[in-house]
Amino acid sequence: MGAEEKEMERLKMEKMSTTRPVNRREGPWGIPEGEDQKPRAHRCNDRVEDVIQAAFEGNPFKTVPGPFKLFWRCMRSKPGEEPTEPFTYLQLDPLKREEPMLESDT
C-alpha cells in the first residue's frame, strides 16, 4: 500500500469517525416528532469498527481480543468516560477527555 493510498484510507476513516448525520426513516408509527433531534452515530461506533477491522487482519484469535476489550469498556462506561487508549487498526486519533473549566481558571 503506497503513501497516497494510506492517506486516502486515513481521510476516509477520519471522515467516518466524525459525528456524521444518520438518515432518518419513517418507522411503523410515522416520523418521530421534533425535527431538532437528529440521529447520531453511537459513541462507541469507532470501537466497533476497530473490532471489525481486526477480524480481517491476520489471525482473528490474536487480533480481535485487544480491540474487543476496548469496545467492551466503552460500552460499559458512562458517556464522557469512554476509554482514551488509541485505536489498534483504525488510523484515528485517540479520544481526548475535555477538562472541565474551573471558575478560578478564567
Q: CA 87, CA 66: separation in Å to the nearest integer?
A: 10
pLDDT of residue 95: 72
pLDDT of residue 56: 95
Q: Is the confidence at residue 44, as pLDDT, over 70? A: yes
pLDDT tens digits for 24-35? 666 666 666 665
Q: What is the average per-residue pLDDT within 16-39?
A: 62
Q: What is the average per-residue pLDDT within 78-103?
A: 80
Residues in the chain: 106
More confident call, 18 vs 92: 92
Residue 83 maps to a domain: yes
- Give the chain's domain count: 1
The single residue listed with the C-alpha cell 492517506 is 7
Residue 34 maps to a domain: no
Dig out the grid coordinates for 41 from the structure.
452515530
Residue 52 maps to a domain: no
Task: Domain of residue 64: give its range.
Answer: 60-90
The rounded percent of the chain whose pLDDT value lies above 90 is 33
Residue 68 maps to a domain: yes
